[in-house]
Amino acid sequence: MAANLCRVSGRSLLKVQNVASPAKANMSSFAKLSTGKKILFGTLGAVTAGGAGLLGALHYSTTVHAGELELHPPKFPWSHNGMFNALDHASVRRGYQVYKEVCAACHSMQYLAFRNLVGVTHTEEEAKALAEESEVLDGPDEEGAMFMRPGKLSDYFPQPYANEEAARAANNGAYPPDLSYIVLARHGGEDYIFSLLTGYCDAPAGIELRDGQYYNPYFPGQAISMAQALYNEIIEYEDGTPATQSQLAKDVCTFLRWAAEPEHDQRKRMGLKALMIASMVIAFFYYIKRHKWTVLKSRKIAYRPPK
Protein backbone atom coordinates (compact mmCIF):
# COMPACT_ATOMS: atom_id res chain seq x y z
CA MET A 1 0.00 0.00 0.00
CA ALA A 2 2.79 2.39 0.91
CA ALA A 3 4.60 1.53 -2.30
CA ASN A 4 1.48 2.33 -4.38
CA LEU A 5 1.10 5.71 -2.65
CA CYS A 6 4.71 6.55 -3.38
CA ARG A 7 4.22 5.65 -7.04
CA VAL A 8 1.05 7.78 -7.32
CA SER A 9 2.67 10.79 -5.65
CA GLY A 10 5.70 10.41 -7.84
CA ARG A 11 3.59 10.37 -10.99
CA SER A 12 1.63 13.46 -9.85
CA LEU A 13 4.85 15.29 -9.22
CA LEU A 14 6.08 14.36 -12.65
CA LYS A 15 2.82 15.73 -14.18
CA VAL A 16 3.17 19.03 -12.30
CA GLN A 17 6.73 19.36 -13.45
CA ASN A 18 5.69 18.58 -17.02
CA VAL A 19 2.92 21.27 -16.87
CA ALA A 20 5.27 23.93 -15.57
CA SER A 21 8.04 23.03 -17.99
CA PRO A 22 6.64 25.00 -21.05
CA ALA A 23 6.76 28.30 -19.09
CA LYS A 24 10.32 27.55 -18.09
CA ALA A 25 11.10 26.67 -21.67
CA ASN A 26 9.66 29.97 -22.90
CA MET A 27 11.62 31.91 -20.28
CA SER A 28 14.76 30.05 -21.20
CA SER A 29 14.16 30.64 -24.92
CA PHE A 30 13.68 34.41 -24.34
CA ALA A 31 16.78 34.47 -22.19
CA LYS A 32 18.74 32.83 -25.00
CA LEU A 33 17.94 35.70 -27.37
CA SER A 34 20.71 38.06 -28.23
CA THR A 35 20.84 41.56 -26.80
CA GLY A 36 19.98 43.11 -30.16
CA LYS A 37 16.80 41.04 -30.50
CA LYS A 38 15.76 41.88 -26.96
CA ILE A 39 16.16 45.61 -27.72
CA LEU A 40 14.19 45.14 -30.96
CA PHE A 41 11.29 43.39 -29.22
CA GLY A 42 11.26 46.02 -26.45
CA THR A 43 11.22 48.84 -29.00
CA LEU A 44 8.34 47.23 -30.93
CA GLY A 45 6.33 46.88 -27.71
CA ALA A 46 6.93 50.52 -26.75
CA VAL A 47 6.00 51.74 -30.26
CA THR A 48 2.82 49.65 -30.21
CA ALA A 49 1.76 50.99 -26.81
CA GLY A 50 2.60 54.56 -27.83
CA GLY A 51 0.64 54.25 -31.07
CA ALA A 52 -2.41 52.92 -29.24
CA GLY A 53 -2.23 55.81 -26.77
CA LEU A 54 -1.85 58.33 -29.60
CA LEU A 55 -4.87 56.94 -31.45
CA GLY A 56 -6.94 57.14 -28.26
CA ALA A 57 -5.88 60.75 -27.65
CA LEU A 58 -6.68 61.74 -31.25
CA HIS A 59 -10.08 60.09 -31.02
CA TYR A 60 -10.87 61.96 -27.82
CA SER A 61 -9.63 65.29 -29.20
CA THR A 62 -11.71 65.04 -32.40
CA THR A 63 -14.88 64.13 -30.51
CA VAL A 64 -17.15 67.11 -29.90
CA HIS A 65 -18.42 67.28 -26.32
CA ALA A 66 -21.32 69.32 -25.07
CA GLY A 67 -19.12 71.36 -22.74
CA GLU A 68 -16.91 72.50 -25.64
CA LEU A 69 -19.72 74.30 -27.45
CA GLU A 70 -19.31 77.36 -25.22
CA LEU A 71 -16.38 79.73 -25.03
CA HIS A 72 -14.57 79.55 -21.72
CA PRO A 73 -13.68 82.92 -20.15
CA PRO A 74 -10.01 83.85 -19.77
CA LYS A 75 -8.34 84.37 -16.43
CA PHE A 76 -8.12 88.05 -15.48
CA PRO A 77 -5.61 89.51 -12.98
CA TRP A 78 -8.05 90.62 -10.29
CA SER A 79 -6.48 92.68 -7.54
CA HIS A 80 -8.07 90.49 -4.85
CA ASN A 81 -6.94 87.13 -6.21
CA GLY A 82 -3.76 86.90 -4.16
CA MET A 83 -3.51 84.97 -0.94
CA PHE A 84 -3.12 88.16 1.10
CA ASN A 85 -4.83 90.68 -1.22
CA ALA A 86 -7.96 92.47 -0.08
CA LEU A 87 -10.84 93.78 -2.13
CA ASP A 88 -10.59 97.21 -3.71
CA HIS A 89 -13.28 98.97 -1.69
CA ALA A 90 -13.34 101.99 -3.99
CA SER A 91 -14.17 99.57 -6.80
CA VAL A 92 -16.80 97.91 -4.60
CA ARG A 93 -18.45 101.31 -4.04
CA ARG A 94 -18.44 102.08 -7.77
CA GLY A 95 -19.79 98.58 -8.43
CA TYR A 96 -22.72 99.23 -6.14
CA GLN A 97 -23.46 102.38 -8.13
CA VAL A 98 -23.44 100.34 -11.35
CA TYR A 99 -25.80 97.79 -9.82
CA LYS A 100 -28.13 100.46 -8.46
CA GLU A 101 -28.36 102.49 -11.68
CA VAL A 102 -28.18 99.68 -14.26
CA CYS A 103 -28.61 96.14 -12.93
CA ALA A 104 -31.27 96.77 -10.28
CA ALA A 105 -33.87 97.42 -12.99
CA CYS A 106 -34.10 93.64 -13.61
CA HIS A 107 -31.97 91.78 -11.05
CA SER A 108 -32.61 91.52 -7.33
CA MET A 109 -30.20 91.06 -4.43
CA GLN A 110 -32.64 89.80 -1.84
CA TYR A 111 -29.98 88.58 0.62
CA LEU A 112 -28.19 91.93 0.93
CA ALA A 113 -29.37 94.67 3.31
CA PHE A 114 -28.42 98.34 3.45
CA ARG A 115 -26.70 97.78 6.79
CA ASN A 116 -24.17 95.56 5.02
CA LEU A 117 -22.84 98.61 3.18
CA VAL A 118 -21.87 100.40 6.41
CA GLY A 119 -18.11 100.43 6.90
CA VAL A 120 -17.48 98.72 3.57
CA THR A 121 -18.58 101.08 0.81
CA HIS A 122 -20.52 103.82 2.62
CA THR A 123 -20.70 105.51 5.97
CA GLU A 124 -23.71 105.01 8.20
CA GLU A 125 -25.23 108.33 7.16
CA GLU A 126 -24.77 107.55 3.47
CA ALA A 127 -26.29 104.08 3.88
CA LYS A 128 -29.30 105.58 5.71
CA ALA A 129 -29.79 108.06 2.89
CA LEU A 130 -29.68 105.26 0.33
CA ALA A 131 -32.20 103.24 2.30
CA GLU A 132 -34.60 106.17 2.60
CA GLU A 133 -34.71 106.52 -1.19
CA SER A 134 -36.78 103.32 -1.42
CA GLU A 135 -40.33 102.79 -0.20
CA VAL A 136 -41.01 99.65 1.84
CA LEU A 137 -44.37 98.01 2.49
CA ASP A 138 -44.92 97.72 6.23
CA GLY A 139 -47.71 97.17 8.67
CA PRO A 140 -50.30 96.55 9.69
CA ASP A 141 -50.97 99.80 11.51
CA GLU A 142 -53.44 100.37 14.36
CA GLU A 143 -56.32 100.09 11.90
CA GLY A 144 -55.03 96.87 10.36
CA ALA A 145 -53.99 98.48 7.07
CA MET A 146 -50.63 98.12 5.32
CA PHE A 147 -48.70 101.29 4.57
CA MET A 148 -45.57 102.46 2.79
CA ARG A 149 -42.65 103.91 4.71
CA PRO A 150 -39.10 105.06 3.91
CA GLY A 151 -36.48 102.34 4.04
CA LYS A 152 -34.21 101.70 7.02
CA LEU A 153 -30.78 100.16 7.41
CA SER A 154 -32.32 96.85 8.39
CA ASP A 155 -34.29 96.61 5.14
CA TYR A 156 -33.03 94.50 2.27
CA PHE A 157 -32.45 95.81 -1.22
CA PRO A 158 -35.76 96.40 -3.01
CA GLN A 159 -36.77 93.84 -5.61
CA PRO A 160 -37.66 94.99 -9.12
CA TYR A 161 -40.59 92.57 -9.45
CA ALA A 162 -43.24 91.36 -7.06
CA ASN A 163 -42.73 87.67 -7.92
CA GLU A 164 -41.15 85.33 -10.45
CA GLU A 165 -44.17 85.32 -12.76
CA ALA A 166 -44.09 89.10 -13.05
CA ALA A 167 -40.35 88.96 -13.81
CA ARG A 168 -40.85 86.41 -16.58
CA ALA A 169 -43.76 88.35 -18.06
CA ALA A 170 -41.59 91.46 -18.30
CA ASN A 171 -38.61 89.65 -19.86
CA ASN A 172 -40.15 87.46 -22.59
CA GLY A 173 -40.31 84.41 -20.34
CA ALA A 174 -36.73 84.67 -19.06
CA TYR A 175 -36.19 84.97 -15.32
CA PRO A 176 -33.40 87.38 -14.28
CA PRO A 177 -31.43 85.54 -11.57
CA ASP A 178 -30.77 86.99 -8.15
CA LEU A 179 -27.25 88.42 -7.96
CA SER A 180 -26.55 87.93 -4.25
CA TYR A 181 -24.40 84.83 -4.80
CA ILE A 182 -24.07 84.83 -8.58
CA VAL A 183 -20.26 84.88 -8.44
CA LEU A 184 -20.23 81.61 -6.50
CA ALA A 185 -23.09 80.10 -8.52
CA ARG A 186 -21.39 80.42 -11.92
CA HIS A 187 -18.35 78.47 -13.02
CA GLY A 188 -15.54 80.95 -13.54
CA GLY A 189 -16.80 83.47 -11.00
CA GLU A 190 -16.09 87.07 -11.83
CA ASP A 191 -14.10 86.02 -14.92
CA TYR A 192 -17.28 84.59 -16.42
CA ILE A 193 -19.44 87.58 -15.45
CA PHE A 194 -16.91 90.09 -16.82
CA SER A 195 -16.62 88.16 -20.09
CA LEU A 196 -20.39 87.88 -20.34
CA LEU A 197 -20.97 91.60 -19.79
CA THR A 198 -18.34 92.62 -22.35
CA GLY A 199 -18.71 89.74 -24.81
CA TYR A 200 -21.77 90.77 -26.83
CA CYS A 201 -21.23 90.68 -30.59
CA ASP A 202 -23.05 90.01 -33.84
CA ALA A 203 -24.10 86.43 -34.44
CA PRO A 204 -21.91 84.62 -37.00
CA ALA A 205 -23.30 83.41 -40.29
CA GLY A 206 -25.60 80.42 -39.98
CA ILE A 207 -26.86 81.17 -36.47
CA GLU A 208 -30.42 82.44 -36.19
CA LEU A 209 -31.73 84.03 -33.01
CA ARG A 210 -35.32 84.37 -31.95
CA ASP A 211 -36.93 87.69 -31.16
CA GLY A 212 -35.68 89.07 -27.86
CA GLN A 213 -32.45 87.05 -27.92
CA TYR A 214 -28.88 88.27 -28.32
CA TYR A 215 -25.64 86.53 -29.24
CA ASN A 216 -23.00 86.08 -26.56
CA PRO A 217 -20.31 83.41 -27.03
CA TYR A 218 -19.73 83.08 -23.28
CA PHE A 219 -23.31 82.20 -22.45
CA PRO A 220 -24.25 78.47 -22.61
CA GLY A 221 -26.00 78.07 -25.95
CA GLN A 222 -24.78 81.52 -27.10
CA ALA A 223 -28.39 82.84 -27.16
CA ILE A 224 -29.13 85.06 -24.16
CA SER A 225 -32.31 86.97 -23.39
CA MET A 226 -30.50 89.79 -21.56
CA ALA A 227 -29.60 92.69 -23.81
CA GLN A 228 -26.23 94.37 -23.55
CA ALA A 229 -26.45 96.54 -20.44
CA LEU A 230 -23.06 98.27 -20.21
CA TYR A 231 -21.82 100.92 -22.62
CA ASN A 232 -19.17 103.60 -22.41
CA GLU A 233 -20.23 106.55 -20.24
CA ILE A 234 -23.67 105.04 -19.52
CA ILE A 235 -23.36 106.44 -15.98
CA GLU A 236 -21.18 109.05 -14.32
CA TYR A 237 -19.07 107.88 -11.38
CA GLU A 238 -19.17 109.92 -8.19
CA ASP A 239 -15.37 109.92 -7.87
CA GLY A 240 -14.77 110.96 -11.47
CA THR A 241 -13.39 107.61 -12.71
CA PRO A 242 -13.84 107.23 -16.51
CA ALA A 243 -16.92 105.04 -16.96
CA THR A 244 -15.72 102.84 -19.80
CA GLN A 245 -17.44 99.55 -20.50
CA SER A 246 -14.57 97.49 -19.12
CA GLN A 247 -14.37 99.71 -16.00
CA LEU A 248 -18.09 99.33 -15.38
CA ALA A 249 -17.87 95.54 -15.75
CA LYS A 250 -14.79 95.34 -13.53
CA ASP A 251 -16.38 97.37 -10.75
CA VAL A 252 -19.70 95.52 -10.73
CA CYS A 253 -17.85 92.17 -10.71
CA THR A 254 -15.82 93.30 -7.70
CA PHE A 255 -19.02 94.38 -5.97
CA LEU A 256 -20.64 91.02 -6.70
CA ARG A 257 -17.60 89.21 -5.32
CA TRP A 258 -17.94 91.16 -2.09
CA ALA A 259 -21.70 90.50 -1.99
CA ALA A 260 -21.11 86.76 -2.32
CA GLU A 261 -18.24 86.75 0.23
CA PRO A 262 -18.62 89.62 2.71
CA GLU A 263 -16.03 87.89 4.90
CA HIS A 264 -13.43 87.92 2.09
CA ASP A 265 -11.00 90.37 3.71
CA GLN A 266 -11.55 89.09 7.25
CA ARG A 267 -10.93 85.50 6.16
CA LYS A 268 -7.58 86.39 4.60
CA ARG A 269 -6.65 88.53 7.61
CA MET A 270 -7.39 85.63 9.95
CA GLY A 271 -5.40 83.30 7.71
CA LEU A 272 -2.37 85.60 7.91
CA LYS A 273 -2.66 85.73 11.71
CA ALA A 274 -2.96 81.94 11.86
CA LEU A 275 0.20 81.53 9.78
CA MET A 276 2.13 83.94 12.00
CA ILE A 277 1.01 82.19 15.20
CA ALA A 278 1.62 78.74 13.72
CA SER A 279 5.17 79.69 12.70
CA MET A 280 5.98 80.82 16.25
CA VAL A 281 4.38 77.72 17.78
CA ILE A 282 6.23 75.40 15.41
CA ALA A 283 9.54 77.10 16.21
CA PHE A 284 8.85 76.76 19.95
CA PHE A 285 7.96 73.08 19.71
CA TYR A 286 11.02 72.43 17.54
CA TYR A 287 13.21 73.96 20.24
CA ILE A 288 11.52 71.87 22.93
CA LYS A 289 11.95 68.74 20.84
CA ARG A 290 15.65 69.45 20.38
CA HIS A 291 16.03 70.24 24.08
CA LYS A 292 14.30 67.06 25.25
CA TRP A 293 15.83 64.66 22.77
CA THR A 294 19.37 65.99 22.68
CA VAL A 295 20.38 63.87 25.69
CA LEU A 296 18.96 60.68 24.16
CA LYS A 297 20.37 61.26 20.70
CA SER A 298 23.84 62.26 21.87
CA ARG A 299 24.40 59.56 24.45
CA LYS A 300 26.86 56.74 23.89
CA ILE A 301 26.32 53.21 25.05
CA ALA A 302 29.54 51.40 25.75
CA TYR A 303 29.91 47.78 26.83
CA ARG A 304 32.49 47.17 29.47
CA PRO A 305 33.13 43.51 29.94
CA PRO A 306 33.68 42.36 33.50
CA LYS A 307 37.25 41.89 34.49
pLDDT in tens, the chain (307 residues): 444 444 444 444 434 444 444 444 444 565 666 777 778 877 888 889 888 888 877 766 544 444 456 789 999 999 999 888 999 999 999 999 999 999 999 999 999 999 999 999 999 999 999 999 999 989 888 888 899 999 999 999 999 999 999 999 999 899 999 999 999 999 999 999 999 999 999 999 988 899 889 999 999 999 999 999 999 999 999 999 999 999 999 999 999 999 999 999 999 999 999 999 999 999 999 999 988 888 888 888 888 888 8
The alpha carbon dihedral of 98, 101, 102, 105 has a sign of: positive
Q: Of 171, 180, 11, 185, give the one whose Cα is nearest residue 106.
A: 171
CA angle 153, 91, 250 (to 5 degrees): 120
Structure confidence at residue 68 (pLDDT):
53
Q: Is 252 helix (H, G, I), strand (E, B) or coil?
A: helix
Amino acid at 64: V
Structure confidence at residue 302 (pLDDT):
84
**What is the CB neighbour count within 10 angstroms for residue 222?**
18
Structure confidence at residue 267 (pLDDT):
94
Amino acid at 146: M
pTM of full prediction above 0.85: no
